Amino acid sequence: MAKLLECALNFSEGKREDVINAIAGAAQGVRVLDLNADKDHNRAVATFVGPPREIAEAAFRISAKAIELIDMNQHRGEHPRMGAVDVIPFVPLGEASMQEAIAAARQVGRRLGEELGIPVYLYEEAATRPERRNLADVRRGQYEGLPEKLADPQWKPDFGPNRPHPTAGATAVGARIYLVAYNVNLGTSEIDIAKAIARAVRARTGGLHNVKALGVMIEERNPSGSSPSGRSLAQVTMNVVDPFRTPLYRVLELVKIEAARYGVPIVGSEIVGLVPLSVILDTVRYYLQLEDFRDDQVLEARLWQEQ
């Protein structure tokens, strides 16, 4: 594969379809490969992949539109957030290096700060200080806590002013290795159970390496996933960093084990956005107990290799 960056831009609108589409539409020439909006999180993720320069340009255009259309003073949602554009990660794929992803993050962060007046924090591999690597730490206090955070010298932004923007909050921009956003829906409406399971499975508090997890509430969907049925459901929402090393089946099976302690079943799960084929195949290999199954036994993979 050529030098590619993936950008999974998270912005703080998950309910109004016209707004979501207008923001994603600002990508213009670059094709948004996946647009996933979550009403309960009141958040959406637009994923686009391409050469570094094009992807950085598209990230800026989409961000500018989100900043124009979203007023964070009105924003309520289940997922932690600090800005209209909440987080912009660049991920190297194919032959692109982490350095190229970091360069894209710095470039876009600088433009958001200097051209649009947004306070910007560089995080993960692009972080300027160790305490800014972790997104949860950067985002702590959320939108409402920004006046205090921006006044603190320890939290002087990497780009942009050290005072709040009137409507758009702050933005985290960074570079990181591939992660999969994976949510598991529990057969209970008790958020404390979801939080307990999240605590059990996240790396930092004693769970699986590479897993970040939170317990949240969502509106229950009908089995088709389309409309809410009126009840709330507890969810463990996770980021699995380096899913090539920590496979999805291991994450789900550990969530099941922890949920069993409460007599709570798994009623469904979702992978948000795009996922590499090898991650899917690691999970199939486990459940089917496959011996010697090669990635290129997938017919489409072989056909595409031939072109």
Enumerate the active-site residues: 79
8 Å CB contact between 10 and 69: no
Question: Which of 104, 218, 248, 259 lies at the binding interface for a copy of itself (CB under 8 A)?
Answer: 248
When the beta carbons of 34 and 68 are compared against a copy of itself, the nearer one is: 34
217 touching a copy of itself, by CB under 8 A: no
DSSP string covering 62-82: HHHHHHHH--GGG---SS---
Q: Which of residues 118-157 bind a copy of itself (CB under 8 A)?
A: none
8 Å CB contact between 119 and 146: yes
34 touching a copy of itself, by CB under 8 A: yes
49 touching a copy of itself, by CB under 8 A: yes
Q: Which of residues 185-204 bind a copy of itself (CB under 8 A)?
A: 185
110 touching a copy of itself, by CB under 8 A: no
When the beta carbons of 38 and 158 are compared against a copy of itself, the nearer one is: 38
33 touching a copy of itself, by CB under 8 A: yes
85-94 vs 171-175, strand pairing mode: parallel
Minimum distance, C-beta of residue 268 to a copy of itself, in the bound complex (Å) = 4
Q: Which stretch binds a copy of itself (CB under 8 A): 100-108, 114-122, 233-241, 287-295?
A: 287-295
When the beta carbons of 177 and 267 are compared against a copy of itself, the nearer one is: 267
For residue 31, the cross-strand partners are none
Q: Which stretch binds a copy of itself (CB under 8 A): 137-145, 164-172, 211-219, 269-277?
A: 269-277
Rounded distance between C-alpha atoms, residue 51 and residue 138, angstroms: 28
Residues 6+ apart with CB under 8 A from 75: 12, 42, 81, 143
User: Which helix (H) or strand (E) covers residue 278, if one does?
Assistant: helix 277-288
8 Å CB contact between 154 and 187: no
Count of alpha carbons within 13 Å of 260, Cβ hemisphere only? 6
Tell me the three state secondary structure of residue 62: helix
Question: Which of 220, 221, 232, 254 lies at the binding interface for a copy of itself (CB under 8 A)?
Answer: 221
Nearest to 59 by CA among 51, 48, 73: 48
76 touching a copy of itself, by CB under 8 A: no
Nearest to 157 by CA among 114, 121, 105: 121
When the beta carbons of 153 and 225 are compared against a copy of itself, the nearer one is: 225
Rounded distance between C-alpha atoms, residue 229 and residue 232, angstroms: 9
Question: Which of 29, 153, 225, 263 lies at the binding interface for a copy of itself (CB under 8 A)?
Answer: 225
| Contacting positions for a copy of itself (CB under 8 A) | 1, 4, 6, 31, 33-34, 49, 93, 185, 221, 225, 248-249, 252, 266-271, 273-277, 280-281, 283-284, 287-293, 297-304, 306-307
